[in-house]
Amino acid sequence: MCGIVGLVAKSYVNQTIFDALTVLQHRGQDAAGMVTCEGNRFFLRKDNGLVNEVFRTRHMKRLTGNVGIGHVRYPTAGSSSAAEAQPFYVNSPYGIALAHNGNLTNAEDLADEMFRADLRHINTTSDSEVLLNVFAHELQAQGKLKPEPDDIFAAVSAVHKRVKGGYAVVAVITGYGVLAFRDPNGIRPLVYGTRSTPAGEECMVASESVALDISGFSLVRDIEPGEAIFIDMEGNVFTRQCAENTKLAPCLFEYVYLARPDSIIDDVNVHTARMQMGIKLAEKVMKERPEHDIDVIIPIPDTSRTSALEMAKHLNVTFREGFIKNRYIGRTFIMPGQTQRKKSVRRKLNPIEMEFKDKVVMLVDDSIVRGTTSKQIVQMARDAGARKVYFASAAPPVRYPNVYGIDMPSPEEFIAHNRTEDEIGEAIGADWMLYQDLEDLKETVNSCVNHRFADFDSSVFDGYYVTGDIDADYLARLDQKRNDAAKLTPDSADTEDGAPADLHNKIQ
């Protein structure tokens, strides 16, 4: 997953973009970048590292201008070099810088097409650079010396016709303003908001509403699937639906794990959705084992805490914090190979023995992918003296790869691959394994809004890909790039440029 932000303001935007990126840091820890625009000049800073490592005072002083965009990146296999950091830039037409969150499922074909038909060279393995060049070509095809909003929207419409996948995009056009648009299925999130200043109205677009909150912007609404928003240099806002056959099918994993709990995405309060997940888990416990013997419910930090608390409340069982998290250890999701991941888990979590000793413990996590972390955590609970260890997942079993921007591993590396739920519990050493049902998960999200979603991207749970263009050959090629052996190969590369920032220990 990645985080994006775009801003048109009445004063320098560098600090506001910096602040927004810090609260989107959970969406990407590998690299950060920012482009600002003053007059007809771009000012760019990007590099590997966290936001506060990439942007020092000397860099911020050079990022001048009242218009800009920013990005935090979580890389996929082979794409962690500084050269792959976003935003990307092209000088023709006009000068355009672009950043995006998601994945283009036809990126390889597009790159070849760009070279053969559009005579454009793609210099990296990032699909974001492909997307930038597609947009630049389509905008140039409008043939205007000074483009109007109609021309920019026409270019976006042409992009939607050529590009497939899940994507949320921000771009800045030198001297003209900031553009943002969202894929026709609304898989990846994008919101916009405004704030009033003595100098006039300012507008921000971002991956999550929390980025607006931190700087005093009020959430206006989500960008609709297929919709584009253009904010000119004076702050005038233009919007248009630029795609055909749109539907809102947001990624379910945003609500389970990816988004911050204090965000609102597609009118869904993420915190409320996670509370409902806990209630559904409690109901399933009572259905399967009404005479359960659970003494205490303990979350695995941090994302599962909300669900675990509601689960405990509705079961009338004690809730306790049983693990202390070392926040200075890198996230195991991004580590190549099982050896490094295993070493990191014990450094990252440490149990509080008194919360486990002589108790029947229900551990709650947001999801399970590989199961490596889960197995070690179950063993930690036993070592701390638990009589029995149960394990609940707020999400259903993850059985299929994600192709829209989440870098999950090869399906054969999933703990749920070719296993029943009971067999998964046995594999991680749990006395009882409890998974959320997919229909219950969908219902938790639908219960948080006045409308019902037409569809969801639930592909990691059921193998249903809402874009309709994913076949066995595509998944086989993806599998070759994502397995652990490929990730240990320096020159292995994926066309994706975004995955979950933390799946916290997850790729487990």
CB neighbours (10 Å) of residue 62?
11
Rounded Cα gap, residues 92 and 357, in angstroms: 66
Task: Give residues with Cβ within 8 angstroms of 302, minimum separation 6.
Answer: 325, 504
- Which contacts of 214-220 are long-range, i.e. CB under 8 A and separated by 24 or more positions? 214/19, 214/20, 214/22, 214/23, 215/16, 215/19, 215/20, 217/193, 218/193, 218/194, 219/191, 219/193, 219/264, 220/191, 220/192, 220/193, 220/194
Cis amide bond preceding 93, omega within 30:
yes
Task: Give the rounded distance of the alpha carbon of 379 from its chain centre.
Answer: 30
- Angstrom distance (rounded) from CA 432 to CA 390: 5
Separation CA 486–CA 145 (nearest Å):
46
Q: Determine if residue 105 is labeled as part of a ligand binding site.
A: no
How far apart CA 193 and CA 200 sit, in angstroms, is: 14
* Partner residues linked to 340 by β-bridges: none
Q: Is 150 annotated as a binding residue?
A: no
Identity of residue 351: P
Q: Write the DSSP symbol of residue 331.
A: P
Question: Is 366 assigned a ligand-binding role in the annotation?
Answer: yes
Q: Which residues are catalytic?
A: 2
Distance between alpha carbon 327 and the CA centroid of its chain, in Å?
Answer: 20
**Per-position b or e across 66-77, b if 16+ CB within 10 A of its CB:** bbbbbbbbbbbb
In Å, how far are 145, 243, 401, 498 from 163, measured between CA atoms?
A: 25, 11, 20, 17
Maximum Cα–Cα distance across the chain: 75
End-to-end CA distance of the chain: 17
Give the pairing of strands 165-173 and 96-104. antiparallel
Residue numbers belonging to the annotated binding site for Mg(2+): 303, 365-366
Residue numbers belonging to the annotated binding site: 303, 365-366
